[in-house]
Structure 1
Amino acid sequence: MTKLTREAFSALRKGATVIEADPKGEKVLRLGDGSFLKLFRRKRILSSALLFPPARRFRNNVESLAARGIPCPQVTELYEFDSEGKTAVRYWPLPGDTVRGLLPGLPAAERGAMLLRLAAFIARLHDLGIYFRSLHFGNVILTPSGEFGLIDLSDMRAQRAPISRPKRIRNFRHFFRYKDDARFITELGTARFLAAYNDASRVRMEAAHLARMPNLNPAS
Structure 2
Amino acid sequence: MDLHLDRITLVYPDGASTLTAVDDVSLTVPAGTTTALVGPSGSGKSSLLAVAGGLTRPTSGTVTIGTGPDAPVLSPTTSVAEATRVRRDHVGIVFQQPQLLASLTAVEQIELLAHLRGRRPSSLRERALELLDAVGLADQAHRRPAALSGGQRQRVAIARALATRPDVLLVDEPTSALDHGRGLAVVELVTSLARECGAATVLVTHDESTLGPVDAVVRLVDGRLVADGAADAPLAAGAPVAG
**TM category, shorter:** under 0.3
More helix by share: 1
RCO (CA 8 Å, sep 6+): is it higher in 1 or 2? 2
Greater C-alpha Rg: 1
Q: Which has the higher strand share?
A: 2
